[in-house]
Amino acid sequence: MNNKLLVLGTIAYDSIESPSGAVKKILGGCATYIGLSASKFKTSCCLVSIVGEDFENSYFKLFESNGVDTSGVHFVSNEKTFFWSGRYLDNFNDRITIETQLNVLTKFKPVVPNKFLDASIVLLGNLDPNLQLDVLNQMKNPKFVIMDTMNFWIEGYRTKLDEIISKVDLISVNEEEARQLTDSLSIIDSAKKLQAMGPKNVIIKKGEHGAILFCDKKIFQVPAFPLKKIFDPTGAGDSFIGGFAGSLSEKKQLSFQAMKTAAVKGSAIASFTVQQFGTKELENLTFRKLNKRIKEFKSLTNFEI
């Protein structure tokens, strides 16, 4: 197993409103959050994505200064970068999309750079299942394939989605997506049904309530860090899975124990992401701050019997 991590996903401009404020046209997209989160670990992470000519060069520099390889990010002239705008309602659990401009995303034909064709871990971020399959087919014998998805693909692309789900080792979805995929109200039942569809490992994300990791028949409760104030939940799930994949890649281990640790580290990173709009907090996140929080997770959940 090598420490290469190949990430497929979007790079976007986001405009976001939340009860804590509003921002316009900031750096976003699942590949962005995944890459910046994975870069907190000793992994060689490469993004496969696409941007338009309005994409600022400083953002490429941001990725590279964090050790994130952008050789798989296609730059297209005469097109604009994918744009999303949304609003979070009072409780931060409901989100409405105000506008989606696919722009350059409609032309996306992902190509995995040669250097990363042998990556041991592949993370297929939330995107068209056809593109997820395309990237997976390019890879040479990956050891561990992780995928994310969302309601849009569940509703309109079910056949292709089921095909990619059958081929991955871990699927990471939120509670609502798990219910939609399995037509079940019980989270345990949903996880079992998802496992029966292919992946031996399932993560069900529960926002402020953490997540649950299912590995075969074993279960782990991933805590969420209790925060006094949230600014922007955008990218929390991507930060979580990016940190999770980064931690596994650094350790070069795929045991239940390694996944438990990875899940806690992913949750710790996500707890920083939501404390500012966009990627700001992630950009400023030092190893010292991250390690301190990971230790706080330990005291938050540790008990004697």
261 binds its own copies (CB under 8 A): yes
DSSP state of 182: H
How far apart are CB 297 and its own copies at their closest, in Å?
8
303 binds its own copies (CB under 8 A): yes
Among 77, 106, 287, 305, binds its own copies (CB under 8 A): 305
Per CB under 8 A, which region of 10-18, 23-31, 49-57, 209-217 contacts its own copies?
209-217
Among 58, 77, 78, 91, binds its own copies (CB under 8 A): 91
Which residue lies nearer to its own copies by CB, 57 or 305?
A: 305
Task: Determine the size of the site formed for its own copies (CB under 8 A).
Answer: 39
DSSP state of 270: H
DSSP state of 115: G
Among 143, 206, 252, 280, binds its own copies (CB under 8 A): 206
257 binds its own copies (CB under 8 A): yes
- Separation of alpha carbons 75 and 175, rounded Å: 35
52 binds its own copies (CB under 8 A): no
Place of tokens 């900031």: 26
DSSP state of 81: P
Give SS3 for 176: helix
How far apart are CB 18 and its own copies at their closest, in Å?
12
∠ CA 20-21-23, rounded to 5°:
140
Burial class (CB in 10 A: 0-12, 13-18, 19+), 179: middle
196 binds its own copies (CB under 8 A): no
Among 96, 186, 200, 284, binds its own copies (CB under 8 A): 186
CA atoms within 13 A on the CB side of 218: 9
- Separation of alpha carbons 101 and 13, rounded Å: 10
Sign of CA dihedral 38, 44, 45, 50: positive
229 binds its own copies (CB under 8 A): yes
How far apart are CB 101 and its own copies at their closest, in Å?
32
Among 53, 155, 227, 283, binds its own copies (CB under 8 A): 227
CB 75 within 8 A of CB 56: no
Residues that bind its own copies (CB under 8 A): 90-91, 185-189, 206, 208-210, 212, 218-221, 223, 226-230, 257, 260-261, 263-265, 294-295, 297-305
